[in-house]
Amino acid sequence: MFNYRLINLIFTCSSLGLILYLFFSSFLLLPNTRILSHAADQFSYPTSIDHIVFGIASNAKTWPESKEYVTMWWKPDNMRGCVFLDVPLDDSNTSLLPPVCISDDTSRFRYTWRGGFRSAIRVARVVSETVALNHTNVRWFVFGDDDTLFFPENLVKTLSKYDHDLPYFIGSNSESFVQNRLFSFSMAFGGAGFAISYPLAKTLAKVLDSCLERYPHLYGSDGRIYSCLAELGVGITRESGFHQMDMAGNPFGILAAHPMAPLVSLHHTDYLDPIFPKMTNRDAIRHLYKAAELDPHRILQQTVCYDRWFSWTISISWGYAVEVFDTHVLLPDVLRVPETFRPWRKGSLLSTLFSFDTREHDEDPCKRPMVFHMNTTVRDGDETISIYRAMEKGNCTTTLGSPREIELVKVHAQKLNLSMKQLVTPRRQCCDVLPSSWREELEIGIRECHEDELIR
Ligand SMILES: *[C@@H]1O[C@H](CO)[C@@H](O)[C@H](O)[C@H]1NC(C)=O
Ligand SMILES: *[C@@H]1O[C@H](CO)[C@@H](O)[C@H](O)[C@H]1NC(C)=O
Ligand SMILES: *[C@@H]1O[C@H](CO)[C@@H](O)[C@H](O)[C@H]1NC(C)=O
Ligand SMILES: *[C@@H]1O[C@H](CO)[C@@H](O)[C@H](O)[C@H]1NC(C)=O
Ligand SMILES: *[C@@H]1O[C@H](CO)[C@@H](O)[C@H](O)[C@H]1NC(C)=O
């Protein structure tokens, strides 16, 4: 979208002086020109982390614990925003953390959800209080809890798909059917984090307090934001890279069969088992971030290939884990999420339902695919090599030609740099089993698929 009228004029008049006049006036004049050129900005100046302001909801009780997670993704030199606390904390060592803002008093608002937490009102107001920081050159406001783990490059990449001058509310709902049923299928769950475009956030900030008065009966802060945006006529735009992680136990399945979208966030880490065996939760997350740093767009992206000789199926979740099935499994079945986790809350049968396709996770480890967890990732020019090792071997009897004899999987891939085209119409990549130098090693190369290639 360029200034069509201006260009037309330039072509229809022959006077150099007039051209010069028009040229300079386009800088000096017209709020009009700015509006026209604004949408084009998106492409001439792609969205970067500089265009984002974060509002992180915390409190004096959880912040000392959760700030360690925030330091894993927060980059003090090029990120803007605040972590909102209820009361100030004595903390001298804050150089790696977001600045602290103290939330306004919210005691004048009513809160009537029995057994809930009235801090939900304070946390909802993180949205308007973040807007009130008056940062300049903002395209998106991004909100999350203090235990929301963002992957900043992927957050930026995902938001860059959208025109920040339009009213967008971007996030995702819960993995748990009952949680969605209880709160709303259309709500962006706060723990997964969500983004609001600049013009929408400005409008929302103006009206939020009046909404808060109408919704004292709601449980959480995210329900209040969702309701107020609904009153403004704006609905959610779902992005499957945001993860609320409403489940318990081992999250392996979710991370091993990620949708074809950049990983934007994880949540509830301390409620779940560590994502890598034999590590603490924090060390495991740090380990994942190391791989994500090397190739952020590729982290957790699932690639599947087949070993014709042994009839194995190999599923790679880049930077996290490799599953090797000792049979040929059709692709759509490999893409299902292995149900390695438990429901978020105990309850009726409904609580065992998740809002994605699952496959069975056998009780008997010897009947499951062989799993290799990421050990190291290294960069080699434009290429990455990631090594996955068997960490939980179990006591399975192995037969000749069983994937259980493999010790290590080595994966070669090009560093991904997703173009707008690849973001809007993502396509899964292909892989090949490469000849490897020793029997206990499986070597794989990831590449783009050919136009008519089938993953089979
Ligand atoms: C401040 O925090 C950093 C990172 O968490 C740590 O390495 C450092 O030792 C701390 N410094 C002090 C003075 O506590
Ligand atoms: C932001 O701007 C508004 C309106 O101009 C003003 O009332 C407010 O004090 C400003 N806030 C800060 C933190 O500068
Ligand atoms: C990687 O593998 C080596 C060799 O087995 C082991 O010593 C090391 O602890 C592993 N590192 C991680 C992070 O798993
Ligand atoms: C494997 O079996 C041996 C002997 O039966 C037992 O001592 C060991 O604990 C088992 N290991 C695992 C990981 O189950
Ligand atoms: C990624 O691709 C974009 C164009 O699609 C280009 O402008 C940018 O420089 C590339 N980044 C890297 C790190 O290669």
Q: Where are the beta strands (DSSP E) in 103-188?
A: 140-145, 149-150, 169-171
Measured from the Cα of 395, ligand 4's closest atom is 1
Q: 399: pLDDT confidence band, cut at 50, 70 and 90?
A: confident
Measured from the Cα of 278, ligand 3's closest atom is 14
Q: Indicate yes or no: pTM above 0.95.
A: no
Q: What is the pLDDT of residues 66-117, one digit of tens each?
A: 999 999 999 999 999 999 999 999 877 788 999 999 999 999 999 999 999 9
Q: Which ligand is nearest to the CA of 397?
A: 4
- Ligand 1 pocket member 93 (CB < 6 A): yes
Q: Which ligand is nearest to the CA of 395?
A: 4
Residue 39's pLDDT is: 52
Residue 401's pLDDT is: 84
Q: Ligand 1 centroid to 96 CA: how many Å? A: 9
Q: What is the pLDDT of residues 297-330, one digit of tens each?
A: 999 999 999 999 999 999 999 999 999 999 999 9
Q: 29: pLDDT confidence band, cut at 50, 70 and 90?
A: very low
Residue 34 has pLDDT above 70, yes or no: no
Distance between CA atoms of residues 50 and 415, nearest Å: 23
Least confident of 40-54, 350-364, 401-415: 40-54
Distance between CA atoms of residues 322 and 256, nearest Å: 8
Q: 213 with 110: CB under 8 angstroms?
A: yes
Nearest CA to ligand 4 atom 9: 395
Residue 326: count of CB within 10 angstroms of its CB: 19
- Looking at the domain that runs over 49-238, which CATH code has it been given? 3.90.550.50
Q: Mean pLDDT across the stretch 13-33?
A: 43
Q: Which residue has the higher pLDDT, 37 or 126?
A: 126
Q: Ligand 5 centroid to 150 CA: how many Å? A: 21
Q: Mean pLDDT across the stretch 145-158?
A: 98
Q: Mean pLDDT across the stretch 24-52?
A: 60
Best of 289, 375, 376, 406 for a ligand 3 pocket test (most atoms within 8 Å of beta carbon) = 375
Domain ranges (residues) in the chain: 49-238, 299-447
Beta pairing class for 237-238 and 169-171: parallel
Average pLDDT, the chain: 91
Closest to 86 in 3D by CA, of 65, 45, 58: 58
% of the chain beyond a pLDDT of 70:
90
Residue 392's pLDDT is: 84
Q: What is the pLDDT of residues 234-290, one digit of tens each?
A: 999 999 999 999 999 999 999 999 999 999 999 999 999 999 999 999 999 999 999
Q: Ligand 4 centroid to 433 CA: how many Å? A: 32
